[in-house]
Amino acid sequence: MGICLPMYSVHSSEEPWNIWDFVATIVCVVGIVLAYFADTQLYDFTRKNEVMKELGMPVEPNLEKGLWRYSRHPNYFGEQLWWWGLFIYGWNVGHGWTFVGPLVNSLCLAYVTILVERRMLKKESRVDAYRLYQKTTSVWIPWFKSSLKGGKDKKL
């Protein structure tokens, strides 16, 4: 409920639409679009690996294409954009305290991120590939891949 308080703030306000509402709308829409494409890419990757496994063929250890090339959790980033975009609406009508909802949500997703990454590292078939992915790819915020110092031969 707390995460949706900006909606109540906006609904109960008679402030006219302004540039901050436009910014909030862009942030929310970008968040929804990013989360949608990231989740769709993850679904397709998982489904493809299931089929490959059923056929007795090797599976890909990590999804490193599309948005996943730039972030290890682009779906979480998109979700966060959505909730922080809602906060911008609330802040814009004088209810800055509505940051509490997205902050709590961000902290929860940070914890979930830790759990997911630990789970990924428990699968021996992917541990080396995932460690490399962790070293070269941003956690949430999409960014360019970083290179390993010392080249390919550096010990993971």
Q: Where are the domains of the chain?
A: 2-136
d(CA 59, CA 57): 6
Which tokens is 36 given?
A: 């949608």
pLDDT one-digit tens code per residue, 41-99: 999 999 999 999 999 999 999 999 999 999 999 999 999 999 999 999 999 999 999 99
Q: Is the dihedral of CA 100, 111, 47, 70 positive or negative?
A: positive
pLDDT one-digit tens code per residue, 96-134: 999 999 999 999 999 999 999 999 999 998 999 999 999
d(CA 133, CA 69): 9
Spatial contact of 98 and 88, defined as CB atoms under 8 Å apart? no
d(CA 74, CA 80): 10
Q: What percent of the chain has pLDDT over 90?
A: 83
Model confidence, pTM: 0.88
